[in-house]
């Protein structure tokens, strides 16, 4: 069988002396960083959807631009098998430890729910065999509960209970298949869990049904003994105008409202942070602060056009800060760095998929090394802790512990004639410090 990636060998680490774009200059998988190998710290994954399902279609083209041979195969099973061959060939040549999929990525939908279920379970045997043969593992699985027209008004938030039930049934299968394949996480991205206009929407009801769906999923996870982490992927808009899982802080509030803050964590995507008006590192630091940091969908958006362009990361300063806050929070447990990223629709050659991923893996590896320096040096962390040092005093500690009333604080201020002297935030100094690491 000829490979779609004929002529491309397994990508190897060649170091900084190399100018080979099909080699790693920074990603040295066995190099020790902060007590683990780079491979263990970064836990790279390739996603099925952008590289093997998308055909380069956009709303202004009649058809896709990629002409991938497996897209021409009409039979659903044959197409799925051909696609899996190419996908695992790619994972192996790129030498990534993990991959991710939606159910509909690995095999198309059947005509009935029974048929879809059968197709997915049959395909799971193929994937299990491929995982065994290659050693590539599943970082996470997810159900595509947003592409089919039945989901146009949401899945867990649909006004029609039948759609809610359909989504629940679909998620059950994908959760179980993920469990069977040893998936380390299960992701929920609520693409259509939002609304277009309030005049046809019952916000309260949608929140209730969505909260119930999440609880059903968590209950089922425990019932089947799935030890992986359930993750919600926040995104503020596109496709919905008002999306419920807006950002990390909003998701935390929702989880808390439904008693799920200890059960579900977040999968944070760079481009989604941008769309929410946040930096990537803001979202990561927020998740660490609330103890819901799960996994990362690594990509970048376009600061000019404001769409979810899902480009490969290429900014070292931005990515270094993302890893700095991730590593400060202890790094990944079950999560990983999934490239939810696609080559541009004019990058039509098979080799372009490698250029995208290899470059991005190097950006991440180099950023991890910068994060390591920042952590070992400790200057930034010390500047922050110094800034808050007045909170170490007894009265401040008692205040945080709930032992002090408003009247106590008032007495303290009035008795001592407290007159706080403002101190500099030193932003420019710290920005200069950051640049020294980069
Ligand atoms: C959409 C997105 C999804 C999720 C999985 O913007 O990021 O691909 O990662 O459904
Ligand atoms: Co994503």
Ligand 1 center to 291 CA (angstroms):
22
Q: Among all ligands shown, which has an atom nearest to the Cα of 190?
A: 1
Distance from residue 182's CA to the centre of ligand 2 (Å): 20
Q: Which of 332, 348, 377 is the last residue of a domain?
A: 377
3-state secondary structure of 435: helix
Q: Which atom of ligand 1 is nearest to the CA of 191?
A: 1
Is residue 372 domain-shared with residue 396, that is, in the same domain?
A: no
pLDDT tens for the chain, 438 residues: list them.
689 999 999 999 999 999 999 999 999 999 999 999 999 999 999 999 999 999 999 999 988 999 999 999 999 999 999 999 999 999 999 999 999 999 999 999 999 999 999 999 999 999 999 999 999 999 999 999 999 999 999 999 999 999 999 999 999 999 999 999 999 999 999 999 999 999 999 999 999 999 999 999 999 999 999 999 999 999 999 998 999 999 999 999 999 999 999 999 999 999 999 999 999 999 999 999 999 999 999 999 998 888 899 999 999 999 999 999 999 999 999 999 999 999 999 999 999 999 999 999 999 999 999 999 999 999 999 999 999 999 999 999 999 999 999 999 999 999 999 999 999 999 999 999 999 999
Contact status, residue 155 vs residue 190, Cβ threshold 8 Å: yes
Q: State in Å: Cα 142 to ligand 1 middle.
A: 9
Task: Answer yes or no: do 37 and 75 share one domain.
Answer: yes
Query: Pick from 344, 377, 410: which residue ends a domain?
Result: 377
Residues 306 and 426 in one domain: no
Closest CA to ligand 1's atom 5: 189
Mention every residue, 6+ apart, whose C-beta is less than 8 A from residue 296: 267, 268, 269, 270, 284, 322, 326, 335, 336, 337, 338
Q: What total number of domains does the chain contain?
A: 2
| Contacting residues for 390 by C-beta, under 8 A, at least 6 apart | 396
Q: Which of 377, 408, 425 is the last residue of a domain?
A: 377
With contact defined as beta carbons under 8 Å apart, do 12 and 51 qualify? Answer: no
Residue with the smallest CA separation from ligand 1 atom 3 is 189
Cβ 47 vs Cβ 356: under 8 Å: no
Examine the domain organization and report whether 314 and 349 are in the same domain: yes
Q: Does 91 share its domain with 202? A: yes
As a whole number of angstroms, the distance between CA 94 and CA 365 comes to 14
Which residue minimizes the CA distance to atom 2 of ligand 1? 189
Which residues lie across from 68 on neighbouring strands? Answer: none
Q: Is residue 386 included in any domain, yes or no?
A: no
185 located within any domain: yes
Q: How confident is the model at residue 306, as a pLDDT? A: 83
Beta-strand relationship, 98-102 and 44-47: parallel
Give the model's pLDDT for residue 227. Answer: 98
| DSSP string of 202-238, one letter each residue | -HHHHHHHHHHHHHHHHHHHHHHT--SEEEE----SS
How far does the centroid of ligand 1 lie from the alpha carbon of residue 189, in Å?
Answer: 6
Pick from 297, 307, 342 the residue to mutate for probing ligand 1's pocket: most ligand atoms within 8 Å of its CB. Answer: 297
Pocket test for ligand 1, best of 48, 49, 234, 247 (most atoms within 8 A of CB): 49
Q: Is 40 helix (H, G, I), strand (E, B) or coil?
A: helix
Same domain, 396 and 369: no
Q: Which of 50, 141, 142, 251 to mutate to test the pocket of ligand 1 (most atoms within 8 A of CB)?
A: 142
State if residue 189 touches ligand 1 by the CB under 6 angstroms criterion. yes
Residue burial 291-327, b: 16+ Cβ < 10 Å; e: rest: ebbbbbbbbbbeeeeeebebbbbeebebbbbbbbbbb
Point out the residues that are catalytic.
Answer: 102, 105
Question: 422: which residues sit within 8 A by CB, 6+ positions away?
Answer: none
Q: Do residue 113 and residue 52 come from a single domain? A: yes
Cis peptide before 420 (omega within 30 of 0): no
Judge whether 367 lies within some domain. Answer: yes
Which are the contacts of 96, defined by CB distance < 8 A and separation ≥ 6? 44, 45, 46, 136, 357, 361
Handedness of CA 348, 353, 358, 360 (dihedral sign): positive
333 within domain boundaries: yes
Is residue 263 in some structural domain?
yes
Regarding the beta carbon of 235 and ligand 1, being less than 6 Å apart is answered yes
Does the C-beta of 247 come closer than 6 Å to ligand 1?
no
321 and 413 in one domain? no
Residues 290 and 416 in one domain: no
Q: Determine, yes or no, domain membership for 79.
A: yes
Tell which residue, 241, 330, 251, has the closest CA to residue 283. Answer: 251
340 lines ligand 1 (CB under 6 A): yes
Q: What is the largest CA-CA distance in the chain?
A: 85
Helix axes 203-224, 161-180, angle to 10 degrees: 30
290 lines ligand 1 (CB under 6 A): no
Cα 176 to ligand 2 centroid, rounded to whole Å: 21
Pair 136, 229 in one domain: yes
Q: Could you tell me which residues come within 8 angstroms of residue 49 by beta carbon, excluding any fewer than 6 positions away?
A: 101, 102, 105
Residues sharing a CB contact under 8 Å with residue 2, sequence separation 6 or more, in sequence order: none
The verdict on 320 and 407 lying in the same domain is no
Q: Is residue 112 in some structural domain?
A: yes
**Is 280 touching ligand 1 by the criterion CB < 6 Å?**
no
Shared domain for 311 and 177, answered yes or no, is yes
Nearest ligand for residue 236 CA: 1
Here the CATH number for the domain that contains residue 322 is 3.20.20.150
Ligand 1 near 105 CB (within 6 A): no
Domain that holds residue 405: 392-437
**Which segments within 81-161 are labelled E, that is strand?**
98-102, 137-142
CA of 235 to the centre of ligand 2 (A): 9
From the CA of 378, how far away is ligand 2's center (Å)? 32
Model pLDDT, residue 1: 63
Q: C-alpha distances in angstroms, 231 versus 88, 189, 269, 297?
A: 25, 8, 12, 12
Q: How many CA atoms lie within 13 A of 279 on its CB side?
A: 12
Would you say residue 382 lies in a domain? no
Strand-pair category, 242-243 with 194-195: antiparallel
């Amino acid at each position: 069988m000829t490979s779609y990636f004929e002529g491309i060998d397994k990508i190897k680490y060649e170091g900084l002396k190399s100018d080979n774009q099909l080699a790693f200059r920074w990603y040295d998988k066995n190099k020790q960083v902060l007590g683990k190998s780079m491979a263990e710290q970064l836990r790279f994954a390739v996603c099925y959807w952008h590289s093997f399902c998308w055909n380069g279609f956009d709303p202004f083209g009649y058809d896709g631009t990629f002409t991938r041979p497996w897209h021409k195969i009409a039979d659903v099973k044959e197409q799925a098998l051909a696609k899996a061959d190419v996908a695992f060939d790619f994972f192996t040549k790129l030498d990534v430890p993990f991959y991710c999929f939606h159910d509909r990525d690995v095999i198309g939908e059947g005509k009935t729910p029974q048929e879809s279920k059968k197709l997915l379970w049959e395909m799971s045997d193929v994937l299990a065999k491929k995982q065994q043969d290659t050693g590539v593992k599943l970082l996470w699985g997810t159900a595509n509960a947003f592409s089919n027209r039945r989901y146009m008004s949401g899945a867990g938030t649909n006004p029609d209970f039948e759609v809610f039930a359909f989504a629940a049934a679909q998620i059950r299968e994908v959760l179980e298949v993920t469990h069977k394949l040893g998936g380390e996480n299960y992701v929920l991205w609520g693409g259509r869990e939002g609304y277009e206009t309030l005049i046809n929407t019952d916000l309260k009801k949608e929140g209730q049904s969505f909260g119930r769906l999440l609880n059903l999923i968590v209950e089922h996870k425990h019932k089947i003994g799935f030890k992986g982490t359930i993750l919600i992927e926040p995104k503020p808009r596109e496709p919905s105008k008002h999306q419920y899982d807006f950002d990390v802080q909003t998701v935390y509030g929702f989880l808390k409202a439904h008693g799920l803050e200890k059960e579900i964590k977040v999968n944070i995507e760079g481009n989604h942070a941008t769309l929410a008006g946040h930096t990537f590192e803001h979202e990561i630091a927020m998740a660490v602060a609330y103890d819901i940091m799960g996994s990362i969908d690594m990509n970048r958006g376009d600061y000019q056009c404001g769409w979810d362009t899902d480009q490969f990361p290429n900014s070292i300063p931005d990515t270094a800060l993302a890893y700095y806050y991730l590593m400060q929070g202890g790094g990944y447990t079950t999560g990983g760095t999934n490239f939810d990223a696609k080559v541009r629709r004019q990058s039509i050659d098979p080799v372009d998929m490698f250029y995208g991923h290899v470059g991005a893996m190097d950006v991440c590896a180099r950023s991890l090394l910068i994060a390591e320096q920042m952590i070992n040096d400790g200057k930034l962390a010390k500047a922050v802790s110094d800034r808050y040092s007045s909170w170490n005093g007894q009265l401040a500690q008692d205040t945080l512990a709930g032992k002090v009333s408003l009247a106590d604080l008032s007495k303290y201020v009035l008795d001592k004639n407290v007159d706080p002297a403002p101190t500099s935030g030193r932003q420019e100094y710290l920005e200069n410090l950051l640049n020294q690491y980069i």
